[in-house]
Amino acid sequence: MAILDWMNLRALVQKISALTNWKVLAIIFALLNLKSLPFAWHIRVLGASFRHYFFPPARFTVETGPSALFQPMVISSRPNLIDCDYNLHKSNSTYFTDFDVGRVHLCVCLIGSGLRNTTHQLGSLVNIHLGGVSCNFKKEIKPYEAFEVWSRILCWDRKWLYTISHFVKKGSVRPKGYMLQPWRKIKLEKSKNRVNDESESTGAAVKSGVRKPASNPAIFASAISKYVFKQGRLTISPEKILQNSSLLPPKPAAIETPSPAESPAIDGISLGAAATSAPPSMSSTIANEIIDASLEAHGDGEIWDWNRVEAERQRGMRIAELYAGLEALNDEFKYDDQPALGKFRDLY
């Protein structure tokens, strides 16, 4: 009888041990793939919103102003195993979730106060909505390879606020400092050496007649996004939001912004601010210069008056106008009463 009880106890211990091993493996797997767990995206986005909306770092350090308008916000991350496709690199579709998180950090930090102030002025809630994203992939990102997402405001027009984001190899680009986090230490020696090396190689390339590379080799992917601000069906101009965020310098008296009543309306929606003239066409070289400028830091002592902000905005509009041309894709959907190859069901 005692032998039988011992055998039963031993079998029970083995079952518990096997179950524990599976739990340990499941926990390890979950920890290695935190970004891909259910509701992980919601936690990341809502966490970033909560952090900057209720506890903005500028409140405890310095106040943002026009000099911060075009400065990038940086987040760091790694692709987990579930993020990767059958080629064992970060899947194209997963880039957009990281772009989402980077843009939320940027927008809530810079214009969260503007949304609150505009809501108080107009007496009802003003929301921000994503209107579109376009991404250009450059290089692969391997599993668990560290990267950074640099996001900044590119430009704006009467309706849309455009942002640009870059996936960058971690540590390859180093800012000279962080405006909202002055306590962060920056290792400048490596960055200076890298810049000097690039300058020397560029100078040698010019002398030898070799063409300069088209874009920053540290960039994995680049994306442009556009946001619209809504109060119900009414569209609020980005300029108004930026002004209420204390990000725009005083506008010269000679430049007038028409009131919503004087602005043209589309489908009953007022557009608010003055229209921008169509920028001239540009080459791919100029486009790459604008994209690479997103990774360059602005000087601490530089004064951003209205003319300088407007010049930078117009420079960014040259990229945004190319992106706006993608609206013509909708006209290419003409399949009524036309034959199709077939129709198949996916998992759901």
Count CB-CB contacts under 10 A for residue 115: 21
pLDDT of residue 28: 85
Whether the Cβ atoms of residue 317 and residue 325 lie closer than 8 Å to each other? no
Residue 84 is classified by DSSP as: B
**Helix ranges restricted to H, the chain:** 2-32, 40-54, 95-122, 188-208, 238-244, 284-292, 306-324
Instruction: Answer yes or no: is pLDDT of 6 > 80.
Output: no
How does residue 277 score in pLDDT terms, banded at 50, 70 and 90?
Answer: very low
Q: Which has the higher per-residue pLDDT, 57 or 206?
A: 57
pTM above 0.85, yes or no: no
Task: Scan for tokens 């996916």, then name that residue.
Answer: 346
pLDDT tens column, 156-207 = 999 999 999 999 999 898 888 888 887 777 664 444 444 444 444 444 444 4
C-alpha 135, offset from chain centre: 11
Q: Cα(164)–Cα(14) distance, rounded to whole angstroms?
A: 56
Q: Cα(166)–Cα(168) distance, rounded to whole angstroms?
A: 6
Whether the Cβ atoms of residue 90 and residue 144 lie closer than 8 Å to each other? no
91: which 2 tokens? 């899947």
